[in-house]
Structure 1
Amino acid sequence: MLELIVIAVVCWMVVDPLFVIYYNRSIPDGYESEGLYRLQLSTVPSKEQGKQADFFQLLERLRSHAQIESATYLVNGNYPCARGNSFNNLSRDTMSVRVAFMYFVPHTDFFKTWRIRSVKDGTWETLENTTYLSNDIVLTSDAADCLSPGKDLTGGEVYAGSNTAVRVAAVAQPVKMKNCMQPFYLRFIAWQDTVPHWVLESGTTLFARTRPGVSESRFIEEFIPWMEEHLVVGRFFVSKIEPFHKVSEQSDLKEGATSEIRIKKALCYFFLVNLFLGISGTFWLSTRTRREEMGVRLSYGASAWKIRLMLLSEASVLTTFSVIMGCLIYFQWIVREGFYVLAGMAPSDDSRYITHQFWTHFLVVSGIVYVIMLVVTWIGVWIPAHNISKISPVTALKDE
């Protein structure tokens, strides 16, 4: 029992990080990465500035490609899986939240390309076709619920920075800015001005979405020669194209999430193997030492399945009590230090997610720990119990 209690505590330490990581990954991204590509716009070195007309001509050429459904561009470097994100505060009445932000140019296929959808009807068309004034924002529903619980903020005002009122033109579904994180509170800011020269000169980022059914490998193979020939206008040219799922993988790698996840997985597998060998071995030996006892029971008419059921029941009771004690011990650590948070990345505080519901999180992970230990214990008991229940009473009692 003492061995099982210690193992239950260690199992909690191993399972909780994996639960948080996989739970975060199970949350919808809020956009569609399949069929989405990132393209890097570059410029030829020159003392002269690139012409905006050349940029828009290049963009139209990109949209004219037979396999491209839509394309858009950014006026800053903030987008999902980007290396950095910018934050500021939004407030309404007495409520204030820290919000990440992205700029978009209205009616440039931004929401169509990203497939970011409206809360109102679940379509991107609503966001794409909304009429935006300068500095209007699209607020994600998690941030809107925090600022105005239970109320629709569409058409309402919130305050940014030093009491600057901005209008909420629409409300979008939550968007994950980091692949292994929960969605950030986010606002999309309508950029009404022309594209600044400094944006073009620094090499802005384009995004394109292919039509449904287009094969990724074949598309890239055919697109790169076409890109090198046609996506060159004035000083501007597209120098690189990447599928967005690879951008996401690179983001995890650069943030350190990939290495941390691999370490956690390796520790988990190593622990589970040792858990299986340790618990199974202990119960295996313990069960085999009761060979004579089982012989006596068999000689008095006990059936083989009753012998196995008795041994499994005893192991289940012992495991259940040990897991309860182990979870109560680890509970003291949780109260003091909190649950696992992916290192180097700011946690979300949205209570709609299980990982931020203290008792739900604790009970779910405790249940997973209990199931793991119960299954391993049953395996360790079942095999020797099955063998013992099959022997004859004479063989079992010959040494008595």
Structure 2
Amino acid sequence: MVSFAYPCSIGSSSSVLTAEGDSIDFTVMNISFWPHTNFFETYGFKHGEGSMSANQLSDYTFSESDIILTEDALEGMFHTKTYNRQRCWEAEGKDTTYVSVVGTVKPFKYANDLRPLPTVFIPEKNPNILDYLEDIHIAVRIKDGVSMERFMNDFKPWMLREMRAGNLYARDLQSYDDLIADSEFSSAISLYRRNLSVAMFFLINLCLGVIGTFWLQTRTRREEIGVMLSYGATPYNIRRLLLGEGVVLTTIATFVGCIIYMQYGLSEGLHEVSSYIKVITQPCWIDNFGQHFLIVSFIIYLILLLVVLTGIYIPAHRISNIAPTEALRDE
């Protein structure tokens, strides 16, 4: 790796580019890479519309002014996702440097807790390895079908023994999944993890409580269902009636709850990300309070509906299939 910024790394870098013939600045993430090292195949990037393939991008002979963009960066600057040999420029002090887009890749998530960010890939033709002596990283792509655990178990002893050159030596081996987990753990503060644990605890118990309440309430209507069966109601009609009541109750409760919750949302507003991420991130529905509130409320409604109908259907299915005399025995 020739930079501290790469997919799922803790570090990050950014720059400002402008489309040729335009004057509107566009902020993008920077990722430097070393050509002819299978960079794009190793990380699983997919080529964009009209662009050469990932392995061709890795093996391309880049000039000093060549770059690769993600499709969302290309769209942000040129208002199209189709690669067509576009050019950009950037200001360096009083100088203006033009760069050529030689290919595009599909948008990707720089980290699992971020939405896709517009990114520029900068080829480093002659990187100075001395700049990274204190923290050099080497990414190894294993063959398809090879067990990660077995590879690491076999490779690490060989690595410690053979990967040495003068005062340089390989000191540690870590899977990429573990690297991502460490990065996410370091970025998630203890308060967030504690609140998430508490929220999950209450959510599970609340769902179980609602299921249990409707389960018990439905079972207590055994005699009522027996009367309905004795008057000719079919099990299907009984289940439909009970489930319909559950849908009506859930809809009313969700509507009232959402009105109350909306007052809290209006007073608190949406979560504000860091100013750096805010500048570089493209607009999305989660940034719009109305869309955000409606979509989240609808998801909550579906979850509540699933929980309530589960608590109703199972006992309703059982008691709607018994004989009327059995249902009315204790009446």
Taking structure 2 as the reference length, the TM-score comes to 0.79
Q: Give the structure 1 partner of residue 14 of structure 2.
A: 87
* Corresponding letter in the other structure for 1:204: I
Q: Give the structure 2 partner of residue 99 of structure 1.
A: 28
Decide whether the 8 Å contact of 1:117 with 1:123 is kept in 2: yes
* Structure 2 residue 306 is matched with structure 1 residue 375: yes
Shift of 1:277: 1.6
Give the counterpart of 2:115 among 169, 179, 182: 182
Give the counterpart of 1:302 among 233, 246, 249: 233
Decide whether the 8 Å contact of 1:295 with 1:397 is kept in 2: no
Larger relative contact order (CA 8 Å, sep ≥ 6): 1
Shift of 1:286: 4.2
Relative to structure 1, the CA distance from residue 94 to residue 325 in structure 2 (aligned partners, 3 Å threshold; closer, same or farther) is: farther
- Number of aligned positions between the proteins: 323
Relative to structure 1, the CA distance from residue 122 to residue 181 in structure 2 (aligned partners, 3 Å threshold; closer, same or farther) is: farther
* Corresponding letter in the other structure for 2:255: I
Relative to structure 1, the CA distance from residue 166 to residue 331 in structure 2 (aligned partners, 3 Å threshold; closer, same or farther) is: farther
2:327 & 2:40 partners in 1: Cα distance? Answer: 76
Q: Give the structure 2 partner of residue 147 of structure 1.
A: 77
Give the counterpart of 2:177 among 245, 253, 268: 245
* Corresponding letter in the other structure for 1:97: F
Decide whether the 8 Å contact of 2:210 with 2:311 is kept in 1: no
Relative to structure 1, the CA distance from residue 202 to residue 384 in structure 2 (aligned partners, 3 Å threshold; closer, same or farther) is: closer
Q: Give the structure 2 partner of residue 396 of structure 1.
A: 328
* Structure 2 residue 292 is matched with structure 1 residue 365: no
Taking structure 1 as the reference length, the TM-score comes to 0.67
Q: Give the structure 1 partner of residue 188 of structure 2.
A: 256
* Structure 2 residue 162 is matched with structure 1 residue 233: no
Relative to structure 1, the CA distance from residue 208 to residue 293 in structure 2 (aligned partners, 3 Å threshold; closer, same or farther) is: closer
Decide whether the 8 Å contact of 1:106 with 1:190 is kept in 2: yes
Relative to structure 1, the CA distance from residue 305 to residue 202 in structure 2 (aligned partners, 3 Å threshold; closer, same or farther) is: closer
Relative to structure 1, the CA distance from residue 243 to residue 326 in structure 2 (aligned partners, 3 Å threshold; closer, same or farther) is: same
Shift of 1:85: 0.9
- Please give the residue correspondences for 1:322-337 in structure 2 after superposition, counting only pairs within 5 Å: 322-335=253-266, 337=268
Relative to structure 1, the CA distance from residue 378 to residue 172 in structure 2 (aligned partners, 3 Å threshold; closer, same or farther) is: closer
- Please give the residue correspondences for 1:37-76 in structure 2 after superposition, counting only pairs within 5 Å: 73-74=1-2, 76=3
* Corresponding letter in the other structure for 2:33: F
Residue segments in structure 2 that go unaligned for 5+ positions in a row: none
* Percent identity of paired positions between Structure 1 and Structure 2: 30
1:388 & 1:224 partners in 2: Cα distance? Answer: 62
The CA RMSD measured in Å over matched residues stands at 3.6
Relative to structure 1, the CA distance from residue 260 to residue 345 in structure 2 (aligned partners, 3 Å threshold; closer, same or farther) is: farther
Q: Give the structure 2 partner of residue 40 of structure 1.
A: none
Q: Give the structure 2 partner of residue 319 of structure 1.
A: 250
Decide whether the 8 Å contact of 2:51 with 2:103 is kept in 1: no
2:226 & 2:18 partners in 1: Cα distance? Answer: 75
